[in-house]
Amino acid sequence: MGERPVRLMIVDDHPVVRDGLRGIFEGVPDIEVVAEAGDGHEALAQARAAAPDVVLMDLRMPGLDGVGAIERLSADHPRVRVVVLTTYDTDGDVSRALAAGVAGYLLKDAPREELQAAVRTAAAGGRVLAQRITSQLIDGLGRKPATAPSPRELEVLRLIARGAANKEVAKALLISETTVKTHLKHVFAKLGVDNRAAAVVAAMERNLI
């Protein structure tokens, strides 16, 4: 981010949690909390007003939930990096968040140093997953023999791994969204998985992307 601090927005429907998170970043010279929000709709408004670099996003909130807000942020503010910070680690929550294009997925029991490092990593363009989440995804891959995806399928998967939606993949590769979905279906079958997040993890584990 150069010389200026990383601009951080905190999104959580519990004021006490927001206060605690803000305290974690107080006095950190390279991170500045520039906005807070209590739900997804407020997060979108604050993103327009405060122009954060990174958003710490809760998942389950009233009104527009975290995944809905992430999808809107990705469309309206593609340079904003989102790190999920939640108490929920179910496969469904993780898969939906990763498929929406988040830069990270952490749990609320993470120590302050890990949260601070995650914000820096996200701002620098990297990704971060809680160790428990990584283990869950890997365990969920099973031990099915995998067939290597085709070069075109790997192109699609690389874009998905960067957080691109089907529409963005289609535009980048000059193909239809239907073709993107077909490629993903083939990738799932070849890697022995059933969702985008698991496909990305499986491909990374096999050094395919």
pLDDT tens by residue, 92-111: 677 778 777 888 899 888 99
User: What is the per-residue pLDDT for 138?
Assistant: 58
- Residue 116 confidence (pLDDT) above 80: yes
Is residue 2 over pLDDT 70? no
Chain centre distance of CA 11: 14
Residue 88 confidence class, pLDDT cut points 50, 70, 90? confident
Check pLDDT > 90 for residue 175. yes
Task: Name the amino acid, one letter, at 67.
Answer: V
The predicted pLDDT at position 10 comes to 97
Q: What percent of the chain has pLDDT over 90?
A: 51
pLDDT of 196: 87
Q: Would you give the DSSP letter of residue 36?
A: E
Q: Which residue has the higher pLDDT, 100 or 188?
A: 188
Closest CA to 54 of 111, 130, 106: 106
Per-residue pLDDT tens for 16-47? 999 999 999 999 999 999 999 999 999 999 99
Q: What is the pLDDT of residue 137?
A: 62
Read off the tokens for 63.
Answer: 């009104």
> Among 52-56, 161-165, 172-176, where is mean pLDDT lowest?
161-165
SS3 assignment, position 49: helix
What is the value of pTM for the model shown? 0.65
Q: For residue 100, what are the contacts with CB-CB under 8 A and spacing of at least 6?
A: 67, 70, 71, 74, 163
DSSP label at residue 84: E
